[in-house]
Structure 1
């Protein structure tokens, strides 16, 4: 997270609320949308759906 989200940006002009929004969006992307080779090149959500698990 530090390498992909935190370090590449200058956070000096960002409010706490904006920072929290950015971190939340990153966590949602990481947990739900990123493609995982170990899951057959599917996102975690797509993989669960392929197993018939609609969470």
Structure 2
């Protein structure tokens, strides 16, 4: 999601219903995007809640 997409979402029905979610994504975007450079194995470790995986 680019910030232009975030702005479009903010103007949508859901974005207006959940403005805190929009603000959360926009405020964290610069800290989140570097993690996209990591490979699939690290992504799996970072998002899974199952310790066995």
Would you say same fold, with TM above 0.5?
no
Higher relative contact order (CA 8 A, sep 6+): 2
**TM-score, normalised to structure 1's length?**
0.34
Hey, which of these two has a bigger chunk of helix by percent? 2
Report the TM-score, using the length of structure 2 for normalisation.
Answer: 0.35
